[in-house]
Structure 1
Amino acid sequence: TVTSVSGDTYGITAIGTNDATWCIFDSVTISMTDPSDQRDNLNANATGIIVTAIYDYDSSVFDGSFTMNNTDYNGDGTVVKWGYTVVSVSGDTFGITTIGANDETFMIWDSLTITITDPLDQHNNINTNATGIYVSAVYDYDSTPFDGTLTLNHTTYIYATAQKQGYTVSSASGDAFEISTISTNDETYCIWDSLTITITDPSDQRNNVNSNATGIVVSAIYDYDSSVFDGTFTLNDT
């Protein structure tokens, strides 16, 4: 409004009828909710990110549009951390585009790398325990130890017959971040084995005293793969 007038030809300073106008200088404050789970499996959707704003002048709700720095919410199948924030606002009733206070959130997509140690002896006697198999995992995002449960494809570590069994992780669960995607698995194995002995008869199984029982030959094969035993035999009588 006009507060005074002066300097005219006639020296008139009285204001008979004044007028007024106004202008509001405004900006917006952004609020952004975090995703429902800020650390999730590969290809999970970052659901729960909701953006709102209010006008700083009177705290009424901003009725325009937001442009985000990123509109990809699934991580593209990679181990990555992405941040989300508003880069511009537009299209509201008042044409306000100034952001007075912004907000941000983030999402981490993660997976696991498994490590399995071999048993102390990978080719063992039947009925012997395959000791030494230890399973661990790290998060691929930051290489910190996985704190959940790793389930193996089976948990029998002793067998009574000749065979080979492989061990690998079939699932992961129960950790703080609920990460269950295995990006890199590991495996080990143990062979349980025994021998089949073959003894040939002497050339003459009924012989004169003081005669040599020639022709007795001892051999053996491994029951697992029928390969030839390369060790030493101890007979009950030599």
Structure 2
Amino acid sequence: DSSKTGYLNVSLCYAYDGAPVVAGSFWLEDLLLTPLEGGNWTTSFTPGHLMSRAFDTVTTNTSDLHGIGVVDMNGAHLTMYWEELVCHIEGPLFTTVEVGTNATGITYWAEYYFRSDHGQVYTGTLHLNDTTFIYDSPGIHAYEVAYADGDDEWGVTTIRSSDVTYCIWESRDTSEPPETSDPWPLYAAMAGVTAGAIVMVAWVARRTRVPAAQEENLDTALDYLDKISAQRKKEPDENT
């Protein structure tokens, strides 16, 4: 994991007889090696962030007990990875569902950031930020990978990034729109028109669509009735 310390061990021996090197000052790249037992040496490195680093050079600035100061790596090298997880998420099958319906089809997984370099597949356990997939009230809910258990081979828990998906729960509106009252019968009554004329005004208002500009210019119901009567004389009677 990118937050952890990496420990590196180096085995040094003499090329002639394979005897262990137990004395001297040696560095792995720029890291000072500490002697252990039997020619084994160790060092550590903590970058504190996502990183890959190659280690392929051991050097010394002093000769050992036998006056030897040249180190042959013999082809040995090591690349260490301080890993983080790149998380992916897909689904659901439908991003909009009715309330009380399951948001099915959400799948998620993770890859190591340096997978293309080392080829290892992440096999640990992941957890989403939300594990509720059925909601009984309207709303939108987002899902992403929130954390990892670190139970993979390398103990990686740091999440570098995660895709985000969502689902919308909606309810059907079965209520009917409110009935809009027709103001023209009231205007006609205020103008002193008879009951029969009021009925005629209401019937004409329902049968004839009046442009908004005309409505604004009509001052009284009588003016409106006269205008409609003039228009209907020019139109054929639909009932004949």
Q: TM-score range by the shorter chain?
A: 0.5 to 0.7
SS at the partner of 1:183? strand
How far residue 73 of structure 1 moved from its aligned partner, in angstroms, is 1.9
Could you tell me how far apart the structure 1 residues matched to 2:51 and 2:142 are? 29
Instruction: Say whether 1:133 aligns with 2:93.
Output: no
Hey, what does 2:62 align to over in structure 1? Answer: 90
Shift in CA distance, 107/60, structure 1 to aligned 2, threshold 3 Å:
closer
1:200 to 167, 174, 178: 178
The one-letter amino acid of 2:26's match is F
Where structure 2 has 5 or more consecutive residues not aligned to the other structure, the ranges are 32-43, 183-202, 207-240
Hey, what does 1:44 align to over in structure 2? Answer: 4
Where structure 1 has 5 or more consecutive residues not aligned to the other structure, the ranges are 1-40, 205-211, 216-238
How far residue 126 of structure 1 moved from its aligned partner, in angstroms, is 0.2
How far residue 115 of structure 1 moved from its aligned partner, in angstroms, is 1.1
The one-letter amino acid of 2:109's match is S
Could you tell me how far apart the structure 2 residues matched to 1:164 and 1:85 are? 55
The one-letter amino acid of 1:112's match is L
Hey, what does 1:154 align to over in structure 2? Answer: 130
Hey, what does 1:188 align to over in structure 2? Answer: 165
SS at the partner of 2:142? strand
Could you tell me how far apart the structure 2 residues matched to 1:128 and 1:137 are? 27
Could you tell me how far apart the structure 1 residues matched to 2:56 and 2:3 are? 17
Q: Deviations over 1:161-186 (max 9, x none)?
A: 11211111111232222222211211
Amino-acid identity (%)? 31
Could you tell me how far apart the structure 1 residues matched to 2:96 and 2:73 are? 66
How far residue 194 of structure 1 moved from its aligned partner, in angstroms, is 0.9
The number of residue pairs the alignment matches comes to 166
Q: Deviations over 1:51-86 (max 9, x none)?
A: 464555693653210022243823462342422441
Shift in CA distance, 50/175, structure 1 to aligned 2, threshold 3 Å:
closer
Normalised by the length of structure 2, the TM-score is 0.57
Instruction: Say whether 1:168 aligns with 2:160.
Output: no
Normalised by the length of structure 1, the TM-score is 0.58
Shift in CA distance, 110/101, structure 1 to aligned 2, threshold 3 Å:
closer
Pairing of 1:70-85 with structure 2 (within 5 A):
70-71=30-31, 73-75=45-47, 77-85=49-57
Could you tell me how far apart the structure 2 residues matched to 1:101 and 1:125 are? 66
1:178 to 115, 130, 155: 155
